[in-house]
Amino acid sequence: MLSSAILFDLDGTLTDPKLGITGCIQYALSELGYKPPDADQLHWCIGPPLKDSFSQLLKTLDDTVIEQAISLYRRRFATIGLFENFLYPQIPEILKAIRFAGYKTFVATSKPYIYARQIIEYFGLSLLFDDVYGSELNGTRSIKGDLIHHILLTEKLLASTVVMVGDRSHDIIGAKHNYIASIGVTYGYGTEEELKAHGADFIAHSPSDIPRLIIRNL
């Protein structure tokens, strides 16, 4: 399976972005005149597209209001929040093991790719990925299923040889829409129940479980 590829979600899978994401959401809400929730009440916002999170937080479907919130979020994220982020333990080691076993590796995140690339570079992971894929700033490909489809076409990957690794339901849903296997990770921001309910093929409780699951089963 020399053409096999592993797609990695970023937030909650490779890095823990809680401090930056929650801080930027709180900033945006404050600037709009709302009293923001505590950071621990915003865990559910880590992973899904920002548009969906702000729609729920602001209780609105008004695109103008939502885009204003996203703009404020990005004002802080682009300079501060981007780097309020931590690499999960063993990530470089597991990526090296997976690549040594002959797999290609790609980042597949709903985050805009201009930020995703900066984060990957910041943590010194650029050489451990064949490429980094994310959404456009206008929201194009922020839905994980659309993003995965784009990666499969661009990289000419066969669905039966690709695995999506992520911590939230939309990672698993996106994988299912594209008929690829999925590994749900429980050390991020999704629960095992959430991941299994949406059909994760395998569950990893720590980063070190990921290469074992891939090499043993896929």
- What are the residue numbers of the active site? 9
- Give the C-alpha separation, 57 to 72, whole Å: 14
Assess contact for 8 and 168: CB atoms under 8 A.
no
Say whether 73 sits in a helix, a strand or coil: helix
3-state secondary structure of 133: strand
Question: 3-class DSSP state for residue 165?
Answer: strand
How do beta strands 104-112 and 5-8 pair?
A: parallel
CA distance 13 to 199: 18
* Cα-to-chain-centroid distance, residue 51: 15
Secondary structure (3-state) at 19: helix
> How large is the angle between the packed helices 50-57 and 18-31, nearest 10 degrees?
50
Strands (E), the chain: 5-8, 15-16, 86-87, 104-112, 131-135, 162-166, 181-185, 202-204
